[in-house]
A and B are shown apart, each in its own frame.
Chain A
Amino acid sequence: MTNQKAHISFTLNGELAEVAFAPHKTLLEVLREDLGLIGTKHGCELGECGTCTVLVDGRSILSCLMLGLDAEGREVTTIEGMAEGGQLHPLQDTFADLGAAQCGYCSPGFLLAAKELIEKSPRPSRDEIREALSGNLCRCTGYIKIYEAVELAAARMRGEVIELPRESLYGLE
């Protein structure tokens, strides 16, 4: 146990954050334990499941594999920073509408990985989505509602007015 806490400042969800913590802590631990942002989850803490995904300078990273110290001066986005005020991000809206979040435990990681994808590729193909989300495990959904939610959100962000697909909601006739 160290008595010496490290101190860093960085941009967290658009705001300046300053925090002191034991220097061996991962960014995941700093976010959850020292900053109280419990929206970032963990499933293995070994970089295997993608559950702790956050964006650092716009790129998705596994916060369990990054030291908190390395966040100094960087721009970090967590799930708490995705909605603006009470306004959900389009991905959050479509995840909610299509049941892409079942237990909701992996959802923050998927949402941030999908956000990175859509910002880079506004019209992602199904294969691109699969590729981009292949580092995130979900045990509930079978991923299908997640793909559909990403496609729908991307379309809405492109300004296209698209109804929820009937097949996704009710199955095939």
Chain B
Amino acid sequence: MRTNGSNGKPLNVVGKPFRKVDARAKCTGQTRFADDIFLPRMLYCKILRSHLPHALIKNIDLTKALAVPGVFAIITGKDLPIPYGILPVSQDEHALCIDKVRFIGDPVAAVAAIDEDVAFDAMNLIEVEYQPLQTISSIEEGVMIDEPRIHEYGDGGNVHKKVSLEFGDIEEGFADADLIREDIFFYEGNTHLPMEQHAAVAHYDPDQKLTLWSATQTPHYVHRALTKVLEIPASHIRVIATPNGGGFGGKSDPFNHEVVVSKLAMITGRPVKCTLTREEVFYCHRGRHPVLMHVKTGVKHDGAITAMHFKSFLDGGAYGSYGVASTFYTGALQTVTYEVPRYKFEGVRVFTNKPPCGPKRGHGTPQPRYALEVHLDKVAEQLNLDPAEMRKAHLVKPNSVTANYLRIGSMGLGACIDKVVEGSDWKNKFSWNGYAGVSPAVAEARSPAIAGGTPANRKGIGFACSSYICGAGLPIYWNNMPQSGVQLRLDRQGGVCVMCGSIDIGQGSDSILAYIVAEILGIDPFDIRVVTADTDLTPVDLGSYSSRVTLMTGNAAIQAAERARELLTIAVAEKLSLPIENVSFAERRAFDVENPEFGVSFAEAVVLAESKFGTIGTVGSYTPPRSPGKYKGAGVGPSPAYSYSAAVAEVDVDADTGIVTVERIWIAHDIGKSINPVLVMGQVEGSVYMGLGEILMEEMSYRANRNVVHKFPSMLEYKSPTTMEMCDVKTYLIEDPDPNGPFGAKEVGQGPLLPVPPAVANAVYNAVGVRIDEVPITPEKVLKALREKSKGRDGRFGPESIPALEMPEPLRVLTPAEGGDGREMPRVAVHS
């Protein structure tokens, strides 16, 4: 029988702030990242990338480049003709473009040479003849311009995907509302900016097997892509994910440089390394989609939602990537925080000639969450309700099923709200008249007018909530196998080795395996050898994405460890003539619970078990529970559990410059149970930081012309928060164990980012009375809105409209409350 590890006994490891198993390696610079691999006779690869955003490739001339001394091989698209992509429905990438380039940075040819300088010089001698095509540079153009098409597939023209789902009859809900409000928002795209540039090393050994070391969050999916593109059996390919120097979703796709070094290693018979420059990392992207959103909500006087209609338009960039999933995610999780009895979602993703967008921390949900939480703030003001109280009054119930068939387990959002409201002194600071009851106009009158126009600073406070999945319920490709596997090997001298396909991207997933196994076997985490992310040595885990790792590998590890403990228990009970249920494990011993002095060492227990059963190895695996949703599109959103967060932001807005300074954020996160609280704290603080960067400054933006040139593909010009911009963070961890989580644990890597952007936006409004309905909130936008307001107009900065686009008839699903069974209703022909 599966357990979540808890058996009522006191915990010795879980819940304690142990060091990470790799902490010393990381603090002494000994962790070996992909670019730290140097092999004898290794060649270096440089990739020639398109300098045009959209063009046909007419000819590629390698003559001059091949003549450079020290060049070993050059390949182009015709050497790798098979397409790939992370999702089975969008196999639209080639490792090197064949007949067409789709954005500035698209790879065209790759050189392997004796060193990086030679490779670079040769790359620059490759002559490519292009025929430029019209570019598609925005959501509006993607919707409006049908030809030329960036891809020859999708939902027509340059529309990649259209989604339309309706749960219950929303018109009925709107008719029942006391107030209906509509708002439009835009969330600019931004990128992961991991400190480590992507890198990969391939080695083709003399027995014709390929090994790839790569900074990837998804070694299993890379393994699958390589076997497809290279046309060699998966059993001849070994993918080893090196520790990621930050991922945040940016290393979750199979990448062209991974395919290219593999091919070049096969051709040259020598190891080949490719390390991307920082500029190339910007072109790899797969970051946050720019999303234009329209939200319409009907509410009762007390803020109870009667119906919601959410529309999103995603700028997908040049390839599919995770985009179909991202599109669904912009509409999936609106229902898991507050009761939404009837809900309609329409989503559109367009292709544009920009670096492809994909999953970034929160994957597709920070944009709608920002829109929803600012929208609800406006609703609360219209109803003259406290925005925190209004939300708390209508929370989704634990152990319920939402209108769109997401099964909620534990639900700690109410406790989260209480903590931040109390901690921030919200009741005394917040009012719709302004901060501490002082309206912006009064604040302005009070502020000393200093000669020279020195700033008048205004304080403001804002509130928002959020939720996130603890692992996607379904794998990326359809199969009935577990999403996570763990193998355990017990050494007769007391050592334990845990093997799992998961990859540590800094979040501590290696350590989580050690803590959980140590807890169950009663040993020290540092007795455990952790072997991860090696397709030759470790059972499959799908990867570090969708906040799935602690929950899924944790549950798999529990199963493997409990099976091992059972073998040891039988052998020890026999040796000591004890009843099975009397054998307990702690402090590296197995002993009689009634007489703890009576027992054997852990190593002796392994010897007894090995003597009785043979070599001791066990396995564990984890498959998420089936979702109640059966309709087409129900695959995105279900999760074994949902984490919850609430945040209060306190800001200082300089009304003369428009500069927003976030002084402090109080955040409470419903973690279920901390496996290691200090690692949970680190994820909360890191999420707050990344959310702060998104709301204040980070943007992937392009020059305002048809060339679609990235404005600043550099770390200096792509602004991200330094120590000088980071705010103070007050963190509360709410522990409400979830039955599906290992020891009750839920996710923390992504969820706490989500409430930060809307909390800050709402605080800016509280401070200066202007609504910035567009992320990021730059000083320029604040000033524009303030000027509008001073002219007596609406103090708002944001988009005014959404594109007119015909949407398909929605797929209709009866809600659980309406007696639905989770399936779509049969389509009814409409006669006019």
Contacts and interface: CB of A to CB of B under 8 A. Distances in A.
B471 to A, nearest CB: 20
A6 interface: no
Nearest to A32: B36
A137 interface: yes
Contact of A43 (B69, B195, B723): B195
A17 interface: no
Contacts of B27: 88, 92-93, 95-96, 101, 104, 107, 111
Given A103-B505, A169-B681, 19 more contacts: A1-B70, A1-B115, A1-B118, A38-B32, A39-B28, A41-B33, A51-B195, A80-B29, A99-B679, A101-B23, A101-B27, A103-B195, A103-B244, A105-B33, A134-B722, A136-B723, A139-B690, A142-B688, A143-B689
Contacts of B699: none
A171 interface: yes
B245 interface: yes
B91 interface: no
A105 B245 contact: yes
B277 interface: yes
B682 A102 contact: yes
B25 A43 contact: no
Interface stretch (B14-22, B201-209, B321-329, B525-533): B14-22
A110 to B, nearest CB: 10
B730 A80 contact: no
B28 A83 contact: yes
16 contacts: A32-B36, A42-B197, A43-B715, A88-B28, A96-B27, A97-B17, A104-B31, A104-B243, A105-B506, A130-B723, A137-B720, A143-B689, A143-B723, A168-B678, A170-B674, A170-B677
- Of all A-B residue pairs in the complex, the 4 with the closest CB atoms, nearest first, are A39-B29, A103-B506, A104-B26, A105-B245
B609 to A, nearest CB: 34
A82 B30 CA distance: 12
- Considering residues B25, B31, B117, B195, which has the most beta carbons from chain A within 10 angstroms of its beta carbon? B195
- Considering residues A1, A49, A80, A99, which has the most beta carbons from chain B within 10 angstroms of its beta carbon? A99
B730 A140 contact: no
Contacts of B26: 96, 101, 103-104, 107
Given A44-B278, A99-B681, A102-B682, A172 B24 contact: no
A105 to B, nearest CB: 3
A89 to B, nearest CB: 9
B665 to A, nearest CB: 10
Contacts of A36: 38
A140 B682 contact: yes
Interface string A123-142: 00000011101111111111
B245 to A, nearest CB: 3
Contacts of B419: 172
Contact of A79 (B29, B38, B679, B685): B29
B511 to A, nearest CB: 10
A145 B195 contact: no
Interface string B775-799: 0000000000000000000000000
A8 interface: no
Interface string A69-98: 000000000111011000010001101111
B751 interface: no
B444 interface: no
Given A1-B115, A46-B278, A130-B723, A41 B196 contact: yes
B195 A45 contact: no
Contact of B25 (A78, A104, A105, A131): A104
B726 interface: yes
B195 A106 contact: yes
Given A41-B245, A92-B27, A171 B677 contact: yes
A105 B686 CA distance: 15
A144 interface: yes
B733 A170 contact: yes
A93 B19 CA distance: 10
A139 B29 contact: no
Contacts of B704: none
Nearest to B247: A103
A40 interface: yes
A2 to B, nearest CB: 9
B508 interface: yes
Contacts of A137: 195, 715, 720, 722
A48 interface: yes
A40 to B, nearest CB: 7
Contact of B689 (A33, A131, A141, A172): A141
Chain B interface category by residue count: 35 or more
B338 to A, nearest CB: 25
B16 to A, nearest CB: 9
A170 B414 CA distance: 20
B720 A139 contact: yes
Interface string B711-737: 000111000101110100111110000
A51 B278 CA distance: 13
Given A43-B197, A96-B19, A97-B19, A79 B28 contact: yes
Interface in A138-156: 138-145, 147
B260 interface: no
A13 B455 CA distance: 49
Nearest to B689: A142
A143 to B, nearest CB: 5
Interface in B717-761: 720, 722-724, 726, 729-733
Interface string B411-435: 0000000010001000000000000
A1 B722 CA distance: 38
Nearest to B423: A172
Nearest to B19: A96
Interface in B486-510: 505-508
Nearest to B114: A1
A136 B726 CA distance: 13
Contacts of B690: 139, 142
Contacts of A33: 38
- Considering residues B26, B506, B715, which has the most beta carbons from chain A within 10 angstroms of its beta carbon? B26
B682 A103 contact: no
Given A137-B715, A142-B689, A38 B29 contact: yes
A104 B714 contact: no
Given A41-B245, A80-B29, A139-B720, A104 B677 contact: no
Nearest to A94: B27
Nearest to A93: B27
B617 interface: no
A142 B681 CA distance: 11
Nearest to A133: B723
A68 interface: no
Given A105-B245, A139-B194, A171-B733, A144 B726 contact: yes
Contacts of A142: 685-690, 726, 729
Nearest to B677: A170
Given A102-B506, A170-B733, A171-B733, A96 B24 contact: yes
Interface string A52-64: 0000000000000
A147 B729 CA distance: 12
Contacts of A103: 26, 194-196, 243-247, 505-506
Contact of A46 (B32, B118, B716): B716
B213 interface: no
B566 to A, nearest CB: 33
Interface in A151-173: 164, 168-172
A36 to B, nearest CB: 8
A131 B30 CA distance: 27
Contacts of A138: 195
Contacts of B423: 172
Nearest to B690: A139
Contacts of B35: 42
A142 B724 CA distance: 11
Contacts of B714: 44, 46, 48
B765 interface: no
B248 interface: yes
Contacts of A135: 722
